[in-house]
Amino acid sequence: MLALVGLLAGCGAHNGIGRGPTLPTEAAAPVDFPVDAKPRPIVLIGPRVEVVDGYRSDGEKVGAMEGGFEFVGTPPATPEPAQVTLPDGPAQVAFLPMADALQAVSAPPRGKGQQNAPVRLVSAEFGTAEFSTDRGRLPLPAWRFTTEAGSVLATPALAPDLFWKLGEVRPAVTTNATGDGVDLTVSMPAAPTPCPGDEPARNEPVVTESATAVTVTVRTVGTVGDCPRTLALTLQPYPVKLASPLGNRLLVDGQGGVVAVTKR
């Protein structure tokens, strides 16, 4: 997998371990994740508004991205508390009223100088939708809104206290993982392409564990010259063995971004 970032030019070389234009190897700041909480908090790493069907126009897309919504339909009743399936098992939960859920993802009213009109929502129904979490795509109770143009958008119908730092979590950009227990396969950057005449360097995984999180990153072993090269970020899978099962802990990259872990 390649991600074209730009062009690097320079001279000289870096020798040794952990040198060169790869991701930093320092452990991220401590993570205060409540691993013992029941139920385990949902860690949302994708958008709070999922596009189930749409968008029908660029204006609608921009309006939704800006959080401009106007509900013009009849508000539905809020369902009674019920049991839902979360990553660590079933839990009895209360549902968020539609108006509260919409308010949570809406931006303040626009000023006169803003051109994009709010997205008009003509109806809402209680259902489910899939959202991106640190344990993969997860179906959650959701309010599903139909726009005036016919698009369908969804946002979680769960109270904010069921989530960890809702709206604040930064996802990992280039890292993802599969596995369970102590054995993971983590996709991370490969070593940079060698300069002419240089022996290829290699990247190897570095793991730092705490009671609440596991940090995974790579360090470069060998010489990385500063010859001109495109920063085409190549990803490769790395087998990682943990000292103890991942369990409820977060998996984060070297910059503190939360990594999505899916079971094999």
Question: What domains are there in the chain, each with its CATH number?
Answer: 2-33+170-262 (no CATH), 50-162 (2.40.128)
Q: What is the pLDDT of residues 182-203, one digit of tens each?
A: 999 999 999 988 999 999 999 9
Angle (CA) 173-215-229 rounded to 5° is: 45
| Helices marked H in the chain | 58-65, 98-104
The per-residue pLDDT of the chain, averaged, comes to 86
State the number of CA atoms in the 13 A half-sphere of 189 facing the CB.
Answer: 24
Pairing of β 261-262 and β 176-180: parallel
28 neighbors 243 (Cβ within 8 angstroms): no
Cα distances (Å, whole numbers) of residue 110 to 60, 68, 117, 161, 247: 15, 8, 9, 28, 44
In this prediction, residue 107 has a pLDDT band, given cuts at 50, 70 and 90, of confident
Reduce the DSSP state of residue 104 to 3 states and report it: helix
Higher pLDDT, 146 or 17: 146
**Cα(154)–Cα(147) distance, integer angstroms:** 11
In this predicted structure, what is the pLDDT of residue 225? 86
**Cα(214)–Cα(219) distance, integer angstroms:** 16
Considering Cα of 205, then 17, then 190, then 7, what sign does the dihedral take? positive
In this predicted structure, what is the pLDDT of residue 111? 59
Cα distances (Å, whole numbers) of residue 49 to 142, 178, 234: 10, 25, 30
pLDDT over 90 (residue 223): no
Assigned token pair, 153 = 């958008």
In this prediction, residue 226 has a pLDDT band, given cuts at 50, 70 and 90, of confident
Reduce the DSSP state of residue 169 to 3 states and report it: coil
